[in-house]
């Protein structure tokens, strides 16, 4: 894989609660330089990122119901509307993990659909659904894939990075098998080096959430020079 191809798969991410404006500005500058797919920032930084990346091919992703997913659906929808109006091109929402584990499929589906509809009404932003795979059985992950597709989401995504585990190649393969080529699959959580990034792509990921994005792409650039 070429360095430019890898960069085009990456959501260059800073979601730590202590992230500062300087860090967000640095993130956006790096995204411009490397042409990452998006920057992924907290809702409060959405407008800033959109202004810094205006006129570039880099999108702005933000998070909704983050990181626990048990926010009221109406609140998720309002938050979605606000961040899309602020410039978000993609919304990464956390599904209601407890409802999924309870088997309450109607609630989970409606929760996702509320965000999808709000994103569409506000300007057509894409929606990724974060499962928090470390908390789920394989059967629950497969159900989450089905419900995400039924609700009209664009991507399914492994993790917030705030639970006990992040992306695994086994989870990516399971999710890709469940959604086929109909939805994107985003691997997120614990992708800190090129080998892990390549393994996730090989397993079926079409997007990667990383904070080590620059190091990963630079390693590929070095290999290309050799």
Q: How far is CA 36 from CA 113, 119, 161, 174, 194, in A?
A: 28, 22, 19, 26, 15
Catalytic residue among 113, 128, 141, 157: 157
Residue 135, number of CB atoms within 10 A of its CB: 17
Q: Which helix or strand (DSSP H or E) is residue 195 part of? A: helix 194-203
Q: Which residues contact 91 (CB under 8 A, 6 or more apart)?
A: 61, 62, 63, 64, 80, 83, 84, 115, 119, 125, 126, 127, 128
Specify the pairing of strand 184-188 against strand 155-157: parallel
- ω before 67 within 30° of 0 (cis)? yes
Catalytic residue among 11, 76, 92, 171: 92
Q: How far is CA 100 from CA 33, 137, 201, 218, in A?
A: 40, 11, 27, 39
Q: Is 157 a catalytic residue?
A: yes
Catalytic residue among 113, 128, 141, 186: 186
User: Known catalytic residues?
Assistant: 92, 157, 186
């Amino acid at each position: 894989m070429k360095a430019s191809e890898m960069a085009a798969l990456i959501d260059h991410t800073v979601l730590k609660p202590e992230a500062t404006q300087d860090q967000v500005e640095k993130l956006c500058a790096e995204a411009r330089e490397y042409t990452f797919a998006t920057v992924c920032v907290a809702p409060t930084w959405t407008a800033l990122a959109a202004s810094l990346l205006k006129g570039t091919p880099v999108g702005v992703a933000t998070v909704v119901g983050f990181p626990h997913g048990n926010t009221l659906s109406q609140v998720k929808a309002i938050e979605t509307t606000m961040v899309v109006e602020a410039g978000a091109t993609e919304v990464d929402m956390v599904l209601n993990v407890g409802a999924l584990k309870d088997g309450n499929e109607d609630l989970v589906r409606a929760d996702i659909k509320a965000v999808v509809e709000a994103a569409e009404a506000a300007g057509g932003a894409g929606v990724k659904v974060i499962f928090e795979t470390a908390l789920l059985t394989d059967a629950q992950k497969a159900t989450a894939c089905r419900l995400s597709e039924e609700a009209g989401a664009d991507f399914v995504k492994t993790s917030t990075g705030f639970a006990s585990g992040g992306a695994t190649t086994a989870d990516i393969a399971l999710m890709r098998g469940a959604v086929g080529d109909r939805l994107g699959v985003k691997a997120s959580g614990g992708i800190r080096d090129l080998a892990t990034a390549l393994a996730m792509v090989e397993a079926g990921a079409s997007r990667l959430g990383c904070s080590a994005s620059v190091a990963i792409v630079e390693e590929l650039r070095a290999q290309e020079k050799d």
